[in-house]
Amino acid sequence: AGSRFLFSPSFNGEVLRIAQARRIPYIPAALTPTEVLSLFRHDLHLIKIFPAGPLGAGYLRDLLGPLPELRAIPTGGITRENARSFLDAGAVAVGIGGALTAGVTGSDYQAVTRRSAEFRALTAESR
């Protein structure tokens, strides 16, 4: 229904097949080097690294060392305090969720919009 990309918590061959047929980028998740290499075999290099927050930016830097072709998007536990460190470690983007909505009540869309702008500013500073 108009998706520009598919973001997934794991890899699913059927989802890949459908995404390719519709020419929609598919971004599955991996955590370990073995999982990343498995996705490379499907010619997938833009990969969600999940959960990245608890492991820290150092883990991403270590993962990129032997896998420089990885285009990593860390997600899971990304906050205003650690987002920049992931970008500086080599992430092409960060995925945020809970940090946008934590403590937001009801329909306080302005709070989510404000937090989104803060993350965008962090991204701009890092590039």
pTM of the model: 0.88
Domain boundaries, the chain: 6-96
Fold of 6-96: TIM Barrel (3.20.20)
Instruction: Give the model confidence (pLDDT) of 43-92 as tens digits.
Output: 999 999 999 999 999 999 999 999 999 999 999 999 989 999 999 999 99
Task: Please provide the DSSP assignment of the chain as one string.
Answer: ---S-EE-SS--HHHHHHHHHHT--EE-EE-SHHHHHHHHTTT--EEEETT-TTT-HHHHHHHHTT-TT-EEEE-SS--TTTHHHHHHTT-S----SHHHHTT--TT-HHHHHHHHHHHHHHHHHH-
